[in-house]
Amino acid sequence: MGSARDIALIFLSLEALIVALVPMLIISGLAYGVYRLTGFARVYLRKAQVYAQLAYDYVEKASAAIAAPFIKVNSSVRQVTTIVQRLTRREGTDG
């Protein structure tokens, strides 16, 4: 009877080992997949970074081109206003 008990204990231990081995295999497979994907992702992320920089440069150029006329008009108005204020300012009065 003792040998049957030992054989049953061995089979139960093997079952527990297999149950513990499945999550370990899944986790190691995921880790290997992430390791392999980092090499591929590095190449594509560099390309994405280049395209993002190009888009940023285009946006900067467009915003500068759109804002330039408004800045020029505003500075011209301020120049004229300053000249008129200096010409019409009365000398010797306070305030």
pLDDT in tens, 27-69: 999 999 999 999 888 889 999 999 999 999 999 999 999 999 9
> How far is 33 from 41, CA to CA, in rounded Å?
12
Q: Which two tokens stand for residue 86?
A: 């200096």
Helix (H) or strand (E) holding 55: helix 2-88
Q: What percent of the chain has pLDDT over 70?
A: 95
Please classify residue 19 by burial: count the beta carbons closer than 10 Å to its beta carbon, then call 0-12 exposed, 13-18 middle and 19+ buried. exposed
Read off the pTM.
0.49
Residue whose entry in the numeric block shows the structure tokens 């003792």:
2
The whole-chain average pLDDT of the chain stands at 90
Q: CA Rg, the chain, in Å?
A: 39
